[in-house]
Structure 1
Amino acid sequence: MNVQKFTARTAREALRKVRDALGADAVILSNRVVDGAVEVLALGGDDVASIAAPAAGTEMAQPRLDLAHLDYPLESYANLGAQQQPAPQTPPLEALMAARLDADMDARQNALQNARLDAPLDRRPEPVAAAAAPVGGQGASAPQPALAASFPISEMSALMAVAIAQARDSAAAEMSGMRDEMRAMRGLMEDRLSSASAGAAPGRDAPRTAVLRELLAAGFSASLARFLSDKLPEGKTGEAGWQWIKTVMARNLACMPDEDALLGGGGVFALVGPTGVGKTTTTAKLAARCVMRHGADKVALITTDAYRIGGHEQLRIYGKILGVMVHSVKDEADLRIALREMRNKHIVLIDTVGVSQRDQMVGEQVAMLSQSGADVRRLLCLNATSTNETLAEVVRAYQGSGLAGAIMTKLDEAASVGNVLDVVIRHKLMLYYISNGQRVPEDLQLPDPAALIEHAFSLERDDANEYADAELSLLMARGAGRVARAAEVSLG
């Protein structure tokens, strides 16, 4: 056996030398890259034929199966038994060997370029020689098992489709059962809560149901209505029960007893609130009361409404009528300067710009008033025509470090005042004034708790807002598990 070595710059050139020297039947034994060149070891075809035949019983002596059909597309597997497909054309040996040598050489060159120059010798990659087939009975393995028959693709697809459909039907049935169970549990819980609520059995506890219905119709929240109806003493029916309800609500409605708390003590007061609640008109009413009591030289007005076109002009007109100077400020620095100049005034009223309770400017406004260098007490203007939810959101937004109190505005326009009274009671706000008109200063009055509660139940209501017994039971059952701030109401 005569093994020859060929060296060339590229793999194709080396193969060409092998073919020219040994013929087309030559066998490539190994290849490697040496000093940037390709080194190939090859054996001539005559030398290969002279090699002894493999021993009987070895792997090389076993007949080879024709596996050419394994390269067929999957669609042809089902028809292998009925129709024999021709084997695909095999690429020439020279092209296969050239492609393999090129890929091998590129991989080796990349590995050598990326290797560290100071790496230990034992860690440097060694050239990989092409694996030679075992000869002479050495390295023989056990005979290969016969190729199993292919399963028809059409039958396999049908079985998979049936399995998927069965799994989908089973999952749908389980989901339907879970939905039915959840509906049943929800209905059971609503029935139990409805039975436990105050208005669930109108025939058994009619007084509580009547109280609950009237409180909801007057605009009070469900939490406060539920709390008061649950706490209604036994035996308090009819007028006695209503008198107890009104007394408890009036006791929990904190109101300024007289004007000395504001006008007598003096100080700096800022009227805050959303747009359109009547802050400017209310400021003018308060200024008129202060002028009548202390004189125009003891009162000062400040406006921060620099956003609306002509927003400060309305207050300037009122100030001109009252003989009070009106100062306009734009930011915290201007406010500090203005308050420093007015430190000898008995009372300073600040008319702030209206900001939506959902605007981030609310926080900026609260910070400006808190950091003005003076003790600014904020009075929140609550629009009586707003809903309970809106008023509660306004209070939470303007709460900040604490509100001095609230002023109820637009009482003359409200069809129901239970909503604003409910918010004042639940949030424990001090009610300073109520505004019930546009006249300055006549339409600004001190609040009377008993009169306000009586007014809340005396307003005419639309029958469309009345709850039926069944609706009332369901309404109270749905909110029975909620924690209500009405639990802080004092029963006296």
Structure 2
Amino acid sequence: MKVKRYIAPTSKEALRQVKEELGVDAVILSNRKTKDGVEIMALADSEMSSLVETPSTVPNIPQYEHHKALDTTESYPKLLSLIHEPAEAQKVSSDAMSASLAHDIIAEIHAMKSTLEDQLATVAWGNFTQRRPEKMKLLRAMLDAGFSPSLSRRLVDKLTVDFDYEQSLKQAMSALAFNLHTVASDEIVEKGGVYALIGPTGVGKTTTTAKLAARCVIRHGADKVALLTTDSYRIGGHEQLRIYGQLLGVPVRTIKDTDDLQLTLSELKNKHMVLIDTVGMSQRDHMVTQQIAMLSNCGADVKRMLVLSAASNGKTLDEVISAYQKNGIYGCIITKVDETASLGVALDAVIRRKLMLHYVANGQKVPEDIHAANPRYLLHRIFKSSPGDSAFTLQDAEFALIMASKNNAESSRTGEKSLAGFSHD
């Protein structure tokens, strides 16, 4: 009796070899994946029939084809157990092996389908770039400015077909400005109220709090402003705000819990503006929920302002917004504009998540380095700057692969919303 061994790159190829040499009735003894591919051990149906008819006869040690003997300590006992198994057990074993082979074949079919779809998408994208080179140029400009492939593709798809690059750029900037919701004045300072600056560690919440307080002091006077801080974790965290308060002539109080916050706000109800500097923590920290609960249950209308760092990458900004947006955000402030290489990353997140942008901050000076958000100025600044050569600049082939990929465009998976209408002025 000879047990034959077949090795092929795929299960399908190995089965084809078995059928060609041993016939469709061949018995599959085992199959497994090896570093060379898929290995199948098979026996001709005639060989198996002779063994079943004379089970008392101990067969000779089976030999692999190509003069490779089976291990007598492992394969031989396994083969004897297979010979003496009842017909039902052999059927179950055969069904299990067939199911395993079918699973491998299906997996290979899916892999081939995915590869084919990627190739077709790349070809389709190549045809698009040939037919609309101006749109491709604009798409590249948006990616270099820091905008996501998802937003960039959806925007370019909506542009007028016959426009040249300059016209397309103007139309794209108008669409982005229309979808970038901003407050182009000191609305917070004018209206007053209670505002809590929230966000991760290191985004500049304390400095931004001082800048807003200074603007309000200039407009309404120091006796109309109060500063609160919940930052009792960071060493010297509340001291930094106290120094700003002393310079501005504004009282600074430290808040311990919800009851303390409720009592303090009731005492400060005659103030025009109360600013709360919260402790910074990771967006993945469970204490974010506790912090939001404290601000929500204090018995006052505390408006939460999310502070975002322009120096963060897109995925980080998405995580931060998702963590803090669950219970509502009144608006946002983008800081560290002077430290980022691509302001488009932060604006992209604000546009996709439909946040209201109040201010942008670009330095440490109080109160000079904070400005009301002007969408047209910000977008003009983004597209005016030259990206230059960088390790992150896409080459033509890489650019086509990324933009042809379907996985980069599904906005519904991340809670993004469609772009609104265009403004052509």
Q: Same fold (TM over 0.5)?
A: yes
Structure 2 residue matching 1:358: 3-state secondary structure: coil
Which among 184, 194, 209 is matched to residue 122 of structure 2?
Answer: 194
Q: What amino acid does structure 2 have at the position aligned with 1:491?
A: F
1:446 aligns with 2:372: yes
The equivalent of 2:56 in structure 1 is: 151
Q: Label 1:476 to 1:322 Cα distance change in 2 as closer, same or farther (>3 A).
A: same
Q: Distance in 2 between matches of 1:282 and 1:329?
A: 19
What is the deviation of 1:351?
Answer: 0.5
Are 2:350 and 2:357, in contact at CA under 8 Å, matched by a contact in 1? Answer: yes
Q: Distance in 2 between matches of 1:171 and 1:267?
A: 67
- Give the paired residue count: 342
What is the deviation of 1:170?
Answer: 7.7
Structure 2 residue matching 1:433: 3-state secondary structure: strand
1:307 aligns with 2:245: no
What is the deviation of 1:230?
Answer: 0.8
Larger radius of gyration: 1
1:258 aligns with 2:185: yes
Q: Label 1:187 to 1:345 Cα distance change in 2 as closer, same or farther (>3 A).
A: same
The equivalent of 2:266 in structure 1 is: 340
Structure 1 residue matching 2:269: 3-state secondary structure: coil
Q: Which runs of 5+ in 1 are unaligned?
A: 1-148
CA RMSD of aligned residues (A): 2.7
What is the deviation of 1:431?
Answer: 0.9
What is the deviation of 1:171?
Answer: 7.9
Q: Deviations over 1:256-291 (max 9, x none)?
A: 1211x2111110011100000000001011111111
Q: What amino acid does structure 2 have at the position aligned with 1:468?
A: Q
Q: Distance in 2 between matches of 1:451 and 1:377?
A: 27
Q: Distance in 2 between matches of 1:294 and 1:323?
A: 13
The equivalent of 1:408 in structure 2 is: 334
Q: Deviations over 1:5-55 (max 9, x none)?
A: xxxxxxxxxxxxxxxxxxxxxxxxxxxxxxxxxxxxxxxxxxxxxxxxxxx
1:459 aligns with 2:385: yes
1:483 aligns with 2:411: yes
Q: Distance in 1 between matches of 2:101 and 2:294?
A: 62
Q: What amino acid does structure 2 have at the position aligned with 1:470?
A: A
What is the deviation of 1:188?
Answer: 1.9
Structure 2 residue matching 1:408: 3-state secondary structure: strand
Are 2:353 and 2:417, in contact at CA under 8 Å, matched by a contact in 1? Answer: no
Q: What amino acid does structure 1 have at the position aligned with 2:372?
A: L
The equivalent of 1:214 in structure 2 is: 141
Q: Label 1:376 to 1:169 Cα distance change in 2 as closer, same or farther (>3 A).
A: closer
Which among 174, 181, 187 is matched to residue 247 of structure 1?
Answer: 174
Q: Distance in 2 between matches of 1:483 and 1:309?
A: 41
Q: Deviations over 1:377-396 (max 9, x none)?
A: 01110000000110011011
Q: Distance in 2 between matches of 1:172 and 1:306?
A: 59
What is the deviation of 1:174?
Answer: 5.8
Q: Distance in 1 between matches of 2:203 and 2:195?
A: 17
What is the deviation of 1:252?
Answer: 1.1
What is the deviation of 1:355?
Answer: 1.3
1:205 aligns with 2:205: no
Q: What amino acid does structure 2 have at the position aligned with 1:385?
A: A
Which among 355, 378, 385 is matched to residue 281 of structure 2?
Answer: 355
Which among 375, 385, 391 is matched to residue 317 of structure 2?
Answer: 391
Q: Which runs of 5+ in 2 are unaligned?
A: 1-53, 61-75
Q: What amino acid does structure 2 have at the position aligned with 1:465?
A: F
Q: What amino acid does structure 1 have at the position aligned with 2:57?
A: P
Q: Distance in 2 between matches of 1:420 and 1:223?
A: 14
Q: Label 1:150 to 1:422 Cα distance change in 2 as closer, same or farther (>3 A).
A: closer
Structure 1 residue matching 2:167: 3-state secondary structure: helix
What is the deviation of 1:154?
Answer: 5.0
> What is the 5 A alignment of 1:71-150?
none
Q: Distance in 2 between matches of 1:236 and 1:446?
A: 33
Q: Deviations over 1:139-169 (max 9, x none)?
A: xxxxxxxxxx9713556955667999x9799
What is the deviation of 1:196?
Answer: 4.7
Query: Larger relative CO (CA 8 A, sep 6+): 1 or 2?
Result: 2
The equivalent of 2:243 in structure 1 is: 317
1:331 aligns with 2:236: no
Are 2:135 and 2:168, in contact at CA under 8 Å, matched by a contact in 1? Answer: no
Q: Deviations over 1:411-443 (max 9, x none)?
A: 001111111000111111111111100011111
Q: Distance in 1 between matches of 2:311 and 2:127?
A: 31
Q: Distance in 2 between matches of 1:152 and 1:183?
A: 47
Are 1:379 and 1:406, in contact at CA under 8 Å, matched by a contact in 2? Answer: yes
The equivalent of 1:276 in structure 2 is: 202
Q: Label 1:170 to 1:341 Cα distance change in 2 as closer, same or farther (>3 A).
A: closer
Which among 302, 305, 311 is matched to residue 379 of structure 1?
Answer: 305
Q: Label 1:172 to 1:403 Cα distance change in 2 as closer, same or farther (>3 A).
A: closer
Are 1:363 and 1:400, in contact at CA under 8 Å, matched by a contact in 2? Answer: no
Structure 2 residue matching 1:380: 3-state secondary structure: strand
Q: Label 1:464 to 1:324 Cα distance change in 2 as closer, same or farther (>3 A).
A: same
Are 2:155 and 2:419, in contact at CA under 8 Å, matched by a contact in 1? Answer: no
Structure 2 residue matching 1:271: 3-state secondary structure: strand
The equivalent of 2:109 in structure 1 is: 181
Structure 1 residue matching 2:285: 3-state secondary structure: coil
